[in-house]
Chain A
Amino acid sequence: MDLSREVNSSLFHLLVMELVPSTIRMDDMLKQRQEREFEPTRIDTQLSSSKKDLPGSIQALEADVTDDVLIRIESYGYTLGLKLAEVLAFQKQTKLLDVLDVMKFVCREVWFCLYGKQMDNLRTNHRGTFVLIDGNYKLIENMTSSKGTPDTLKKSQYYLWFPCGIIRGVLMSFGVEALVHAELSQLPSVTFNIQTTINN
């Protein structure tokens, strides 16, 4: 495998940032279900049925975000996580003996690969619940809403389903079934709660 290949990291972040609005628009499109010819996007192309949703704007986030959308965002992450785990496990050749090892793998290798840093804190109650804390979460660090902090928090929440999916995918790839959800109380610190069925 070609390990020397690199791309600009901002490209990755731009892609991930675009995922959420696109997914909302897609949901909107799927509901209408009409046959269309391919048309190149223009500066004044209406992207969804919500008003003023033009390219470059994030008006789509104002729409009611349904569970369908969130599930879809999560599943982007999930497929990525499944595959990423394989690539990283192959490259790093680490031995993973129990669930805690897997969690450490998530905190170190996976997070480093994604965001160039490790998770800041890992806690567990030794009964299958794990709490991972990233005190400066890169994906949302640049986000701010013109309507103030509560609105920023609300909208950033949607984006967090993506890393939740990644974590769930990685765990699944190592045979650990888990429920993952993220909490965001103060920007840019994010807490990931992971419930597994495995007692450790």
Chain B
Amino acid sequence: MSKTTRYSGDEMWKNNVEKIQNSELFTLTYGSVVSQLCRDFNNNYQEVNQQLDRMGYNIGMRLIEEFLAKTGAQRCQTFKETAEMISKVGFKIFLNIQPTVTNWTQDGKTFSLVLNENPLADFVELPMGPDNRICRDLWYSQVLCGVLRGALQMVQLDVDVWFVKDVLRGDDQTELRLRLNKFLKDEVPAGED
């Protein structure tokens, strides 16, 4: 048993979180953003990914505050612990899902999060064009990568996050990869020495 189990995501989800009754509302809002982005960028999906990533990053920077306030979590000692925390507490209290942590590399710096379900992509189907470009280029849930990176940046972890598989593209599962680049040093904010 790792130490992270002290913070029970389930408990917090039940008692401590204001929920929206209809997750469709959230799904539809996100869907409307993505489709509008596709229109605005003239189906240049690279740009759409980029934009979603930026939105996610900004959201992540704010979301971590709520996370820390709600959970009172302490610093994770190892990156393994961080992974558990992300899946069992983070995803649990925000999206009410628990991705599986797998595929650790030897050096313990890269792992995969497999999303068995994805509230962002409920009822979503990517339109099949003649050249199927959308399935090749668009990562529909790219915002998640941004959120993870933004949130982890705020707790002094420099990570890379990217999608490797997505059921929307016809893959067998939805899989995110996280790679730890480095632990950042704690710095005193400018003007507060």
User: Which residues of A pack against B, CB within 8 Å?
Assistant: 1-3, 5-12, 14-19, 21-22, 25-26, 29-30, 36-43, 45, 47, 55-56, 72, 75-76, 79-80, 83-84, 87, 113-114, 116
Q: Which of A5, A15, A29 contacts B23 (CB 8 A)?
A: A5
Q: Which of B23-68 contact A (CB under 8 A)?
A: 23-26, 28-33, 35-37, 40-41, 46-47, 49-51, 53-59, 61-63, 66
Contact check, A38 vs B20: say whether CB atoms are below 8 A apart. Answer: no
A47 to B18, CA, bound (A): 31
- A7-B95, A55-B61 given; A41·B149 CB < 8 A: yes
- Which residues of chain B are near A84, meaning CB under 8 Å? 24-25, 28
B63 — nearest CB in chain A belongs to which residue? Answer: A14
Closest to A1 in B: B24
Say how far B81's CB is from chain A's closest CB, in angstroms: 22
The docked-state distance in angstroms from the alpha carbon of A17 to that of B33 is 13
List residues of chain A with CB within 8 A of the CB of B18: 8-10, 116
Are the C-beta atoms of B32 and A80 separated by less than 8 Å? yes
The reply to whether A55 and B50 contact each other, CB–CB distance below 8 Å, is no
Contact with A along B138-160 (1 / 0, CB 8 A): 00000001100110010000001
**Does B61 contact A56, Cβ atoms closer than 8 Å?**
yes
User: Residue on A with the closest CB to B32?
Assistant: A79
The reply to whether B26 and A41 contact each other, CB–CB distance below 8 Å, is no
Tell which of A7, A55, A56 touches B119, judged by Cβ atoms closer than 8 Å. Answer: A7
Given A79-B32, A79-B36, A18 contacting B26 (CB threshold 8 A): no
Contacts of A79 in B (CB 8 A): 32, 35-36
Q: What residues on A are CB-neighbors of B23 within 8 Å?
A: 5-7
Chain A positions within 8 Å of B26 at CB level: 7, 11-12, 15
Given known A-B contacts A7-B96, A72-B36, A76-B32, A36 and B50 have beta carbons under 8 A apart: yes
| Contact A113–B22 (Cβ < 8 Å) | yes
Are A56's CB and B62's CB within 8 A?
A: yes
User: Considering the complex, which residues of chain B in the window 50-108 have a beta carbon less than 8 Å from any beta carbon of chain A?
Assistant: 50-51, 53-59, 61-63, 66, 93-96
Q: Quick one: given A7-B20, A8-B17, A38-B49, are A113 and B25 in contact (CB under 8 Å)?
A: yes
For residue B15, CB closer than 8 A to chain A, the reply is no
Bound together, the chains give a CA A26 to CA B42 distance in angstroms of: 13
Find the B residue at minimum CB distance from A16.
B29
State the CA gap A79–B26 with chains docked (Å): 13
Q: Mark B164-191, 1 if CB is under 8 A from A, else 0.
A: 0000000000000000000000000000
Residue B2, interface by CB 8 Å: no
Contact A87 B28 (CB under 8 A): yes
